[in-house]
Amino acid sequence: MAFSVLIVDDSAVMRGFIRRVLTLSGFEVGECLEASNGEEALARLEGHSVDVILTDINMPKMNGEELLRRLETDERLRSVPTVVISTDATKARILKMLSLGADGYMTKPFSPEALREELERVLGARNA
Amino acid sequence: MPEQLQPARPVEEAPEFGPVVIRVAAEVLETMFFEEALPSACEHAWLAQAVSAQLSFEGSHCGEFLLSVPPGTARSIAAGFLGVDPEEMSETQPGEVILELANILCGALMSTLWPESNLSLGTPELVSAEHSFPAAMHCCFSLPEGMVAVSIALGSRDAA
């Protein structure tokens, strides 16, 4: 089964890297959408449904924290698993993002295998 | 360096800086950039032409992080990160990838050097200046395609 993914990051090269490692990891990717901030992500989600959202935290216009808050208040979107990908490895930040509704948290650097494992974990948990 | 920062603390404050940089850089570069980092003696003749990315950090520690690589090495690192031939890249992509590398390496170094710290990283920017942090913690290492230089200058904003 191929999964549709939304990658939210203000860096085009990081979005390209994530898209690439998803393929390298063997994770079956169907449609792969991209957005450069939370606002753009919500606009993308108006016309599409995705299986999982991967989001950065620090982004202009709408950051990852606000995106999680908005997803949690949306009846249709709150059930979509979300994984935060960030350089911030502090416990306080991780706990905050999880409390806002993130299902997983990946700290950079991460390997393709680690990303796949995390995606399988959150998708499995939501579908259990 | 921003005016409000005090002069950097002496290198002795983090005596393990060099080995830590090599270890963390090796992990970052091998995991996400598919490059092998090796210890190397400092050699700075190339810095005048380097592609450099700088970012600030603040919180329990504050200061500046600077990463420099020769232009050819920047293209090679970017090609590995993006999975393309260096010739296929746009003119701006190597710089964009070096900004990402600086961000990831700085975050990984901070959490290794000061695991209990609570730090917030600024947005990395490309700078044309040569390495100029006075008394900064500094380390060079090499990749197959060239050198990489990393510096951290610690300062104290509240002491200004």
The 3-class secondary structure across A57-118, one letter per residue, is: CCCCCCCHHHHHHHHHCCCCCCCCCEEEEECCCCHHHHHHHHHCCCCEEEECCCCHHHHHHH
Whether this model's ipTM surpasses 0.85 comes out as: no
- pLDDT category of residue A2 using cuts at 50, 70 and 90: confident
pLDDT tens per residue across span A52-95 = 999 999 899 999 999 999 999 999 999 999 999 999 888 888 99
Domain ranges of chain A: 3-127
- pLDDT category of residue A51 using cuts at 50, 70 and 90: very high
What does the pLDDT read at residue A126? 60
**pLDDT higher at B13 or B21:** B21
The domain total for chain B is: 1
Q: Which fold has domain A3-127?
A: Rossmann fold (3.40.50)
Give a yes or no: residue B1 inside a domain: no
Give percent of chain A with pLDDT exceeding 90.
Answer: 76
- The CATH number of the domain where B40 resides is what? 3.40.1550.10
Q: Kindly report the nearest CA distance between residue B134 and chain A, in angstroms.
A: 27
Q: Which of A44-53, B9-18, B66-75, B143-152 has the lowest mean pLDDT?
A: B9-18
pLDDT tens per residue across span B36-77 = 888 888 888 888 889 999 999 988 888 999 999 999 999 999
Phi, psi of A36 (to 5 degrees): -95, 0
Interface test with A, best of B30, B112, B118 (most A CBs within 10 A): B118
- pLDDT category of residue B111 using cuts at 50, 70 and 90: confident
Mean predicted lDDT score pLDDT of chain B: 81
Is B123 in CB contact (< 8 Å) with chain A? yes
- Given an 8 Å threshold on Cβ–Cβ distance, is A109 in contact with B99? no
Give percent of chain B with pLDDT exceeding 90.
Answer: 31
Nearest residue of A to residue B95, measured between CA atoms: A13
- pLDDT category of residue B7 using cuts at 50, 70 and 90: very low
What does the pLDDT read at residue A68? 97
Is B118 in CB contact (< 8 Å) with chain A? yes
**What is the pTM for the complete model shown?**
0.84
Give a yes or no: residue B7 inside a domain: no
Sole residue written with tokens 């701006």 = B92
Print the domain residue range for B123: 16-154
Say which amino acid occupies B143: L
For chain A, list residues whose CB is within 8 angstroms of any CB belonging to chain B. 11-14, 16-17, 20, 58, 86-90, 92, 107-111
Torsion of CA A15, B52, B74, B143, to 10 degrees: -110
Give a yes or no: residue B8 inside a domain: no
From the list A12, A86, A108, the residue facing B32 with the nearest CB is A108
- pLDDT for B130 beyond 70: no
